[in-house]
Amino acid sequence: MSSSAKFLSTLGRFAGEVGTDLIKPSRKLGYLRRWMWLNYTWISRQPSIPSLAPAALIPGLKSMVVPVELRFGMWNVTPLELYYLACLARVANPRTFFEFGTYDGASTWQLAKTCPEAQVYTIDLPQNEGHFQVGSRFLGQPEASRIHSLRGDSTKFDYSPYAGKMDFIFIDGGHDYDVAASDTQSALKMASPDAVILWHDYLTFSGVKRAVDELSRTQPVVHIKGTEFALLRLGKSAQQLASGQGNQTQDRATWLIGESGG
């Protein structure tokens, strides 16, 4: 059903309920609250930036096989998102990777496994919230020697040693607007000229969405359909992103989003 058909159908049901509830006013109020909430969620979950199919953004996705671990917890990206993240990393082949929000280290470890040459930096708060150990998934693993686990508030951290050096940045830390906007600015400072920047929770968290939507006024950020990811490949225009132009050479620096969609 299209979005407008869904809206009309919900409106129709609401009108019917209001009629029925004329004799039961307390139910009417409850229904109104629920209807408003449903529509707020529906509206807030629509991307305000171009939304493209994963296969249109990740060259070779349809024939790509990248192993990922299916074990995931409440705050991890979903297994499907972890798979797309790994595929993007496989194609982008970063030498340096920076993650905001280590949590148990599932996405950190995945990136370190997918890119065996990469140095992986990841930041989380100094104190975790008690129910998880920061980075527990990669502790003791062979990849741990390439993972640099930084601790601190990402909004107050000194990123100057990393300025212009990060090829792939994953933003999945604090979800309030202030933190998401600050992490976005820090990511732009750390990004190498053709870096990939990926945000998680673009649709679910209004703070993340606002920070990404603001950036989209000056940068061609896109949403990856079927996921909570927003993606930016620096140095590529919106037209290039949409048309798949720019794969002139084979090296990592010219990897471009764009193949036939699907």
Ligand X SMILES: C[S@@+](CC[C@H](N)C(=O)[O-])C[C@H]1O[C@@H](n2cnc3c(N)ncnc32)[C@H](O)[C@@H]1O
By CB under 6 A, residue 141 contacts ligand X: no
Q: Which is nearer to ligand X, 96 or 107 (CB)?
A: 107
Q: Tell whether residue 155 is a contact of ligand X (CB under 6 A).
A: yes
Work out whether 136 is an interface residue with ligand X (CB under 6 A).
Answer: no
The one segment of 12-20, 26-34, 96-104, 184-192 that binds ligand X by CB under 6 A: 96-104
Choose which of 179, 195, 198, 256 interacts with ligand X (CB under 6 A). Answer: 179
Asked if 172 touches ligand X (CB under 6 A), the answer is yes
Considering only residues 83, 84, 103, 121, which one is a binding residue for ligand X as defined by CB under 6 A?
A: 103
DSSP string, the chain: --HHHHHHHHHHHHHHHHHHGGG-HHHHHHHHHHHHHHHHHHHHTS-SS-EE-HHHHSTTGGG----------TTSPPHHHHHHHHHHHHHH--SEEEEE--TTSHHHHHHHHH-TT-EEEEEE-SS--SSS-TTTTTTTSGGGGGEEEEES-TTT---GGGTT-EEEEEE-S--SHHHHHHHHHHHHHHEEEEEEEEES-TTT-HHHHHHHHHHTTTS--EEETTSS-EEEETT--HHHHHHT----S-SGGG--S-S---
Q: Which of 94, 101, 135, 220 binds ligand X (CB under 6 A)?
A: 101
Tell whether residue 173 is a contact of ligand X (CB under 6 A). yes
Show contacts with ligand X in window 73-92 (CB under 6 A).
75-77
Contacts with ligand X, residue ranges (CB under 6 A):
75-77, 101-103, 106-107, 123-125, 128, 153-155, 172-174, 179
